[in-house]
């Protein structure tokens, strides 16, 4: 687990699950958890959606974005966020 981004509005954490000894080492699973702090909702992206998110972030990084630019990109995923954030 690695914190990739943390602003006043959003937090993005990357999860990587390495392949076990029985699996192909090229098969690394994982994804991204995005938390909307204002609306207290979250989503976990994996598979093709996670790859699309990653590519979008990489393209954005090449443009030297501001925090507002990054938050605007992440906001595109807010309509998918259904899981309420619960603190234990």
The predicted-structure confidence for 13-27, as pLDDT tens digits, reads as follows: 999 877 667 666 655
| pLDDT value of position 29 | 74
Task: Summarize pLDDT for 63-86 with one digit per residue, the tens.
Answer: 999 999 999 999 999 999 998 887
pLDDT attached to residue 30: 87
CA distance 10 to 37: 6
Place of tokens 């906001």: 75
**Residue 60 CA: distances (Å) to CA of 35, 53, 54, 71, 82:** 19, 11, 10, 11, 25
pLDDT digits (tens, 9 = 90+) for 39-67: 999 999 998 999 999 999 999 999 999 99
Output the pTM of the full model.
0.82
Backbone torsions φ then ψ of 76, nearest 5 degrees: -60, -25
Between the two ends of the chain, the Cα-to-Cα distance in Å is 19
Greater confidence (33 vs 83) lies with 33
Please check whether residue 45 is in contact with residue 34, taking contact to mean a CB–CB distance below 8 angstroms: yes
């Amino acid at each position: 687990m690695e914190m990739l981004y943390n602003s006043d509005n959003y937090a993005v954490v990357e999860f990587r699950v390495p392949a076990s000894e029985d699996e192909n080492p090229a098969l690394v699973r994982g994804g991204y958890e995005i938390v909307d702090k204002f609306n207290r909702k979250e989503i976990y992206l994996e598979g093709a959606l996670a790859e699309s998110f990653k590519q979008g972030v990489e393209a954005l990084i090449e443009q030297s974005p501001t925090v507002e630019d990054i938050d605007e990109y992440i906001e595109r995923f807010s309509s998918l966020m259904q899981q309420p954030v619960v603190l234990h």
